[in-house]
């Protein structure tokens, strides 16, 4: 990816070191009633280490009477110290046995994902999906002022929710022909706005969202749009997928992977998550845990696969 995203999180090493530890280094003690509370060496799996139990039992002094018990205490203390020293050496040897490769190769990633990605790139090299020429990157006026272009990017993505690309593209063309700026939308009647964007999905709700969002932009951002995910998500009608696409297209800043229902579906089919995800937001977090950042700029290749997969059951 081109920039650091607060949504990317580092991997966690989970490989079992399989080294032996003892009580002096955080090990366990005998169960009450089963011994004298002396430390017992054990390995990382919790099994007694080698001959440590037998050696400790044989080393215990024989107590002849109550009068002789106090004289054995110093000897027991010395033996505990010796056992701790021996376990420290064993632990050090186990740590030295862990190779650098074990540490660097322990992060999870899907099997054969690079081969699958190359296959996707091959399938998408023709760039013949509707998103390639009618997506949000093609729905704004490139000759307009920068703040106007960014506003049109925002509106095109708000209209695209639950809507086919060609329907969104047609609605955006009608809006641009009518005049698509913050001022023109604020002056426009709701009825007129509804007629211009119809038949996008949930067009009545989108009329309200567009009017509310545009008023917020006028009052709080001087007619421009926010450049952060947190601020974009405060706008009515804007979700995580839209917010990441807006920062990428309008601000040229890759903040994360934009995942819609189609990408979510493909990710689960390819098993690109540790476990099956339930919604696009879960899929986004699962992808960002392992996918190399340089791939995030190409996530539209996954979106373009939807037309090829819609007929697959």
Q: Which residues belong to the active site? A: 241
> What gap in Å lies between CA 296 and CA 25, rounded to an integer?
44
> What gap in Å lies between CA 302 and CA 309, rounded to an integer?
11
> What gap in Å lies between CA 43 and CA 123, rounded to an integer?
51
Q: What is the C-alpha R_g of the chain?
A: 32
Say which residue the tokens 């703040």 belong to.
147
Say which residue the tokens 């989970």 belong to.
14
Task: Determine whether 138 is exposed, middle or buried from the number of CB atoms within 10 Å of its CB (0-12, 13-18, 19+).
Answer: middle
Cα separations in angstroms, 51 against 41, 47, 97, 294 = 9, 11, 21, 52
Say which residue the tokens 């949504």 belong to.
7
Contacts by residues 59-65 (CB-CB < 8 Å, ≥ 24 positions apart)? 60/36
Task: Supply 182's token pair.
Answer: 């913050």
> What gap in Å lies between CA 184 and CA 218, rounded to an integer?
12
Task: Supply 186's token pair.
Answer: 């604020």
């Amino acid at each position: 990816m081109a920039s650091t995203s607060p949504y990317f999180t580092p991997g966690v090493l989970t490989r079992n070191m399989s080294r032996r530890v003892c009580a002096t280094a955080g090990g366990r003690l005998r169960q009450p009633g089963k011994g004298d509370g002396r430390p017992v060496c054990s390995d990382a799996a919790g099994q007694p280490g080698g001959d440590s139990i037998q050696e400790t039992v044989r080393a215990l002094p024989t107590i002849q009477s109550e009068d002789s018990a106090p004289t054995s205490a110093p000897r027991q203390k010395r033996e505990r110290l010796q056992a701790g020293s021996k376990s420290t050496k064993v632990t050090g040897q186990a740590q030295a046995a862990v190779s650098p490769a074990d540490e660097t190769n322990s992060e999870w990633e899907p099997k054969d994902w690079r081969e699958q990605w190359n296959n996707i790139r091959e399938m998408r090299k023709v760039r013949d999906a509707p998103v390639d020429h009618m997506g949000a990157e093609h729905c704004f006026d490139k000759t307009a002022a920068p703040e106007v272009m960014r506003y049109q990017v925002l509106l095109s993505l708000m209209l695209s929710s639950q809507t086919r690309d060609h329907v969104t593209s047609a609605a955006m063309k009608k809006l641009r022909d009518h005049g698509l700026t913050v001022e023109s939308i604020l002056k426009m009647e709701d009825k007129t706005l509804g007629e211009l964007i119809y038949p996008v999905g949930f067009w009545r709700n989108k009329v309200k969202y567009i009017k509310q969002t545009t008023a917020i932009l006028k009052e709080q951002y001087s007619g421009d749009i926010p450049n952060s995910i947190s601020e974009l998500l405060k706008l009515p009608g804007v979700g995580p997928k839209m917010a990441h696409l807006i920062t990428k297209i309008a601000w040229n800043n890759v903040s994360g992977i934009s995942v819609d229902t189609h990408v979510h579906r493909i990710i689960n089919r390819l098993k690109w998550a540790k476990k099956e995800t339930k919604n696009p937001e879960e899929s986004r977090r699962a992808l960002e845990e392992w996918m190399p950042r340089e791939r995030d700029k190409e996530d539209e290749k996954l979106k373009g696969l939807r037309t090829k997969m819609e007929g697959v059951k």
